[in-house]
Amino acid sequence: MNIAPSVSPANAASRKHPEQERFSPIRGIYPLQRHVREFGASAVNAFDLDAWRHATTLNWLGTRLVVRSGEVRVALRHIAGDGTVTVLARLQQSGPGTQVFPPLRLADLDGALLPEVEHAAPGSSYDIDFVTDDQPVSPHLRINYIFCTFKRAEYVQHNADVFRDYIRRRQAGNEAHLTVVDNGSGSEDSACGVQPDANVSVFANGNTGGAGGFGRGIYESCYGAQAEQGFTHVCLLDDDIYLHPEMFARNTAFMRFLKPGFHVGAPMYPASSQNRIPRRSACFGHKYRGSVHPSDSALGAGLDTADIPAFIRMDRRPDSTGWWWSCVAVADIHRIGLPYPFFIKMDDVEYGLRLRDAGVELVIPFSFWVLHDDFEEKYSAAMQYFRFRNRWVLLAQQGRLDDPDGFAAEFDRLVRGFVGARKYEHAQLLLDAMTHFLQGPDYLVRNEDAILAGIFRIVAQEKNSPMPEPPGGAPVVNGLEPPASERTRWLNGRSWNNHFLPLKEQVAIDTTRPSKPADCRRGKQVSYWNPEKGVGFTVTRDSRRALRQMLALRSLRRRIPARLPALGPCYQAARAHLTSQAFWATYGKPGEAPRLAAAAQESTALRDMRRAMAALQQAQAGAAGRARAPVTDEDNAFLNAMRNRYLGQRCFVLGNGPSLTVSDLELLKNEVTFAANKIYLCFDETDWRPTFYSVEDLLVARNCRSEILAVDRTTKIFPHHMLPFLPRQANHHYARWLPPADNRSPFREFSADLTKGICWGSTITYSMLQMAVHMGFREIYILGLDHSYVEPKTKQDGALVSEGEVNHFHPDYRKPGEKWHYPVLDRLEHSYQFAKDYCDSIGVQVYNASRFSKLEIFPRADLDAVLGRK
């Protein structure tokens, strides 16, 4: 990432914004990053200004303190790369309330921001967020999070529960989906234990490794069974990780503001606890070297998580990131194709390089995190087979194998190193990897199951298992010189694998310390021991096996120079098909063999057919939707933009009862308010205006059409059945109206997603509660809901005829002779009870703050106390 030089932060917090108001409730506040208390003052809780400035459209941000109870004081610190710390602001809140720090312009700052709690009274309940009121560049996200798993049900079940908790708490069902690809399940029935539902899909898959599982998930997302869901991004997640709901929320916020031409990764940390960031980081991504040996540089390894300046200064330009977290736009997948079927190892590198070469830059904010199970504890010689073989395939695809003799010499050195270290299983797997590689790409795919079975037959000893101490008290011999006799030196100079020297029975090599190739010459048995992890494995000298392997190496060295020149074009030609839809349409699916002989014409035809089908389905769905409800794409775009726009904030929903007063409305000028029907009657007495305005009663719309159309300085949201009376104009937006099958039934539905519609509840208050929940409010105060009516004696055509106003806040609310629908109180109470139960289930608190009310369903709140006037 190219970081622009810093502008001094000294006056950043005091700069005046060209607009008069920033972060006012009227504008709406969008959360970017919530402070995770258990992670403390670590890089994870810092706001990565450089990543946001470089890769997103964000311009302004602030820090919000929400106190529900107690007293809290927070300092906002700016941290520069040289370690300079500047306090930009302090904020203290006693009792319930919300405050936002002065707005900061992103262009004025580099480095990081870190909120620190300087004081919190015992028992205080509060949240700290970084927020913005900028409009996101991509408000209509739909991200498919793809887990690829193989016999790790406990991890996937845990993470599926975390995902579902995120969906429930953030009401994110429209913007996020989870797909589990269950490798090795071997049938259409999954064995991972995750039950599919509206937010989670599960696909059974053959054991095709990480690349195969992720490729299957991407294929289904973009072209297969899930293509109609309209995903904008896919995010690839390893199975042996521990996720946190906040990570999903941060990713969504970042992707909403992400510029085109970027994909997003996350730093990986070794998991010592599900709820604690470890002291040291593990990896941000890799620098690709293009060498025969897969020794790419891991960026960010070993950084102290409390040393935020070190994260700011580190190299932020990796070529690829691991598929423990990798979020890619579907549009970019369409451009570059699907992954290469590498099984495991190098799959993420190959795809990352393809994205890089297509102009898609990788950005990794250090405020992201993934807790990954320790790699060392799961180490096996089998990994080396795929590391080396797939590296050679990648080099062949890139045309880098133009020095056959040099390649053969490097391979010779690698095998001799393993044989000399007594790691015969490693050496054999390397020999097999070269044998298979020389036979070309079709052989690797066609014989994948047999290759995998052969690998597991070979690996018996050389894989880590618990080893708290070296077996038998074996001495650690790191760096010790071999015996110094003349005979020993003579043998040592002529022995390619030190198999003829006098030895101890057993020695150990500490793998966390430097060692020399000669160290293993000290013993017949050598234990490779990691004392920090308490794992290791033991190998035994076997001269005959070593001799066989050296003879096999000699044979391969002869074959490599002759075969290598033809391999590059072979692998290059095969890549187009092995990354195509035609190949992935069957690869890994239970009961289907991969298509290896598919011609380019078949791939093109399949692609054209799928695109035509998708276009037809989209057109049919659009036509059906228009026939069902005249809600336009512009309406849905507005409703999507309002989803969670006010997440975590409070609002006021106004009834029009006699207890509502103009003096109370004056107190709500800086609050988000929802009002309805004839609220406009008070506009001559106050310059307060509701933030949102609605009508759903046909009699009100028919009788007061001209007055409703004249209401301005507000945003109007109507159910679509109002269109015949309240036609479209600049500040009008419409949502589908979902009437009941029987309005006498006590059963109710509540819509937390306005793009699906507004459910009937016999009162406009019920509809406005649905609007508030859709917009993300967490505290809703109802005002002016008296829940008491005097019924006139005159009725006509099933409606009441007003005899003069006594039921509302204004004397002209019902003029004599005006028809109106009498509210059936038991129906209203059914609606209010259902709304309360639903809101309670998702963590939304609804209070009745009316000065007078006979409704006892919602807990009462004192309006003056809520507004801080007591």
Helix axes 382-397, 448-458, angle to 10 degrees: 140
Looking at residue 101, the DSSP 8-state letter turns out to be: P
Distance between CA atoms of residues 527 and 779, nearest Å: 61
CATH fold of the domain at 12-132 = Jelly Rolls (2.60.120)
For residues 24 and 352, the model is more confident at 352
For residues 498-504, give the mean pLDDT: 53
Query: Is pLDDT of 769 > 70?
Result: yes
* Strands 465-466, 297-299: pairing kind: unpaired
d(CA 120, CA 441): 62
Residue 613 has pLDDT above 70, yes or no: no
pLDDT (mean) for 732-748? 78
pLDDT score at 809: 86
Q: Kindly state the average pLDDT of the residues 710-727.
A: 92
Asked if 143-374 and 633-866 have one fold, the answer is: no
- How far is C-alpha 452 from the geometric centre of its chain's CA atoms? 32
- pLDDT at 172 (0 to 100): 86
On the question of pLDDT at 507 being above 90, the answer is: no
Q: Which CATH number fits domain 143-374: 3.90.550.60, 3.90.226.10, 3.40.50.300, 1.10.1060.10?
A: 3.90.550.60
Please give the average per-residue pLDDT across 164-178, as a whole number: 89
pLDDT for 618 equals 47
Average per-residue pLDDT for the chain: 84
Residue 580 has pLDDT above 70, yes or no: yes
User: For position 672, what pLDDT does the model report?
Assistant: 95
Sign of the dihedral defined by the CA atoms of residues 553, 555, 559, 561, in that order: positive
pTM of the model: 0.69
Alpha helices by DSSP H, 258-323: 308-313
**pLDDT tens string 463-499:** 888 999 998 888 888 876 555 566 666 655 555 445 4
In the predicted model, what is the mean pLDDT of residues 627-646?
A: 82
- Percentage of the residues of the chain whose pLDDT score is greater than 70: 84
Residue 792 has pLDDT above 70, yes or no: no
Say which residue, 350 or 841, is predicted with more confidence.
350
- Phi, psi dihedral angles at 830 (to 5 degrees): -60, -45
Q: 34 CB contacts (<8 Å, ≥6 apart)?
A: 127, 128, 129, 130, 246, 249, 250
Strands 504-510 and 361-363: unpaired
Report, in angstroms and rounded to the nearest whole number, the Rg of the chain calculated over CA atoms: 33
pLDDT recorded at residue 176: 94
Determine the pLDDT at residue 598: 42
Task: Report pLDDT digits (tens) over 523-569.
Answer: 788 999 998 888 999 999 888 999 999 999 999 999 999 888 888 88
What is the pLDDT confidence band of residue 627, given thresholds at 50, 70 and 90?
A: very low
Query: What confidence category does residue 617 fall into, taking pLDDT thresholds of 50, 70 and 90?
Result: very low
| Cβ(775)–Cβ(754) below 8 Å | no
Neighbours of 466 (CB within 10 A): 9
pLDDT band at 622 (very low <50, low <70, confident <90, very high): very low
Residue 488 has a pLDDT of: 61
Give the span between the Cα atoms of 856 and 788, in whole angstroms. Answer: 12
The pLDDT, as a whole number, for residue 2 is 32
pLDDT at residue 288 in the model: 84
Q: What's residue 741's pLDDT?
A: 62
- Is 113's pLDDT higher than 80? yes
Domain-wise residue ranges, the chain: 12-132, 143-374, 384-566, 633-866
Comparing 139-153, 265-279, 586-600, which segment has the lowest mean pLDDT?
586-600
User: Could you tell me which residue, 819 or 841, shows the higher pLDDT?
Assistant: 841
Q: Which residues contact 407 (CB under 8 A, 6 or more apart)?
A: 292, 401, 560, 564
User: Looking at the predicted structure, is the pLDDT value of residue 513 above 80?
Assistant: yes
372 has which bridge partners? 241, 270
Whole-angstrom distance, CA of residue 241 vs CA of residue 234: 17
Q: What's at 403, amino acid-wise?
A: D
Considering 155-164, 184-193, 292-301, the range whose residues carry the highest mean pLDDT is 155-164
pLDDT, mean of residues 387-393: 92
Residue 791 has pLDDT above 90, yes or no: no
Mean pLDDT (whole number) for 9-24: 49
Q: Is the pLDDT of residue 679 over 70?
A: yes
Q: What is the mean pLDDT of residues 572-588?
A: 89
Tokens of 100: 């936002």
Per-residue confidence (pLDDT) for residue 683, from 0 to 100: 93
The domain over range 633-866 is classified in CATH as 3.90.1480? yes
Considering only CA atoms, which of 52, 243, 186 is closest in space to residue 132? 52
- Identify the pLDDT of residue 380: 82
Q: What is the rounded average pLDDT of the residues 157-174?
A: 89
Q: What is the pLDDT of residue 163?
A: 94
